[in-house]
A and B are shown apart, each in its own frame.
Chain A
């Protein structure tokens, strides 16, 4: 038995620490990889928020780069996210499609009337059927689609300025959508 072998348990302990540290830091379940990245956005048919007799399908949202944003009035993070969506709607030509998730139509309409409506169209998913179809686990979640309806990126949690700058803007720039240079609106 050499002296060095006395350090074997310490070495094993440090190894366990390192593996554990690394392993647990990977376990950010909010950022679990979306299964749908690089896949076509699923087929769907859902009523429009403003005219429920009208059905919106996948074909209706194709044609140009699109952000599909899953939101609800009961979702507090969605309220925090709303200002950024308004900013994106104002400053870019990206199409914004809202999926009003497990919500009340009247409340949703009032919310958009009160806080502004960043969406080009809004569909309703009152009982979460469309949500499961999209692999959504809650709100807010946001998909970035190209004009052909392929999912390029998915954000689970809010779209904020950092996500816009680091994730959405560069991908949209590649699709030819750039932020317009409007004067910053102060105050809010």
Chain B
């Protein structure tokens, strides 16, 4: 009994990489360049049903279908990368793009982080320049006499 547990754990540990493996589709490509483009494209799109996974990393049925569509568009229809992007965006919306377009509708998501970063830099600059200023005014002779008097008291 005491030995079965470590053995089980060993089996689980060695088998785990197989469970975590990304799904593999078998597709035929006419040129290596098509394969490279296909792989780059399925890395680029987000699976519409998944929490946050790209098409390449998901084994959801819809991701499989979309990979097949990307393959068909690249190899069968001979579309360019941008045409494939437009095709999927037309059907699934900006959601499938990890990189949202820069449009009036999306200005906020692009500009707010930049604005906050600038604000932070201004705040840091102000804090630092304030810290650099010498505290108070330089001592004059009256101050020195008072200090002397205070020290003498001890």
Q: How far is the CA of A36 from the CA of B90 in the complex (A)?
A: 7
User: Which residues of the partner chain A approach B61 to less than 8 Å between Cβ atoms?
Assistant: 102, 128, 138
Chain A 131-152 near chain B by CB (<8 Å), digits 1 or 0: 1111111100000000000000
Q: How far is the CA of A127 from the CA of B49 in the complex (A)?
A: 17
Chain A 14-34 near chain B by CB (<8 Å), digits 1 or 0: 000000000000000100111
Q: How far is the CA of A65 from the CA of B68 in the complex (A)?
A: 32
Q: Which of B23-31, B32-40, B91-99, B136-144 contacts A (4 or more CB under 8 A)?
A: B91-99
| B48 at interface, CB cutoff 8 A | yes
Pair A137/B48 contact, Cβ less than 8 Å:
yes
Q: Nearest Cβ distance between residue A10 and chain B, in whole angstroms?
A: 17
| B122 at interface, CB cutoff 8 A | no
Pair A132/B49 contact, Cβ less than 8 Å:
no
Q: Nearest Cβ distance between residue A100 and chain B, in whole angstroms?
A: 15
Pair B69/A132 contact, Cβ less than 8 Å:
yes
Interface size of B in residues (CB-CB distance below 8 Å): 15
| B65 at interface, CB cutoff 8 A | yes
Pair A35/B91 contact, Cβ less than 8 Å:
yes
Interface of B is mostly: helix
| A129 at interface, CB cutoff 8 A | yes
Pair B65/A135 contact, Cβ less than 8 Å:
no
Pair A132/B65 contact, Cβ less than 8 Å:
yes
Specify which of A42, A129, A135, A138 is in contact with B92 (CB 8 Å cutoff): A135
Those of A13-68 within 8 Å (CB) of chain B: 29, 32-36, 39, 42
User: Which residues of the partner chain B approach A131 to less than 8 Å between Cβ atoms?
Assistant: 62, 65
Pair A135/B91 contact, Cβ less than 8 Å:
yes
User: Which residues of the partner chain B approach A129 to less than 8 Å between Cβ atoms?
Assistant: 65, 68-69
User: Which residues of the partner chain B approach A137 to less than 8 Å between Cβ atoms?
Assistant: 48-49, 62, 92
Pair A33/B93 contact, Cβ less than 8 Å:
yes
User: Which residues of the partner chain B approach A132 to less than 8 Å between Cβ atoms?
Assistant: 62, 65-66, 68-69, 91
Q: How far is the CA of A53 from the CA of B49 in the complex (A)?
A: 33
**Sample of 15 A–B contacts (CB below 8 Å):** A33-B93, A35-B90, A35-B92, A102-B61, A128-B62, A131-B62, A132-B62, A132-B65, A132-B91, A134-B91, A135-B91, A135-B92, A137-B48, A137-B49, A138-B62
Q: Which residues does A use to contact B, with CB under 8 Å?
A: 29, 32-36, 39, 42, 102, 127-129, 131-138
Q: Which residues does B use to contact A, with CB under 8 Å?
A: 48-49, 61-62, 65-66, 68-69, 89-95
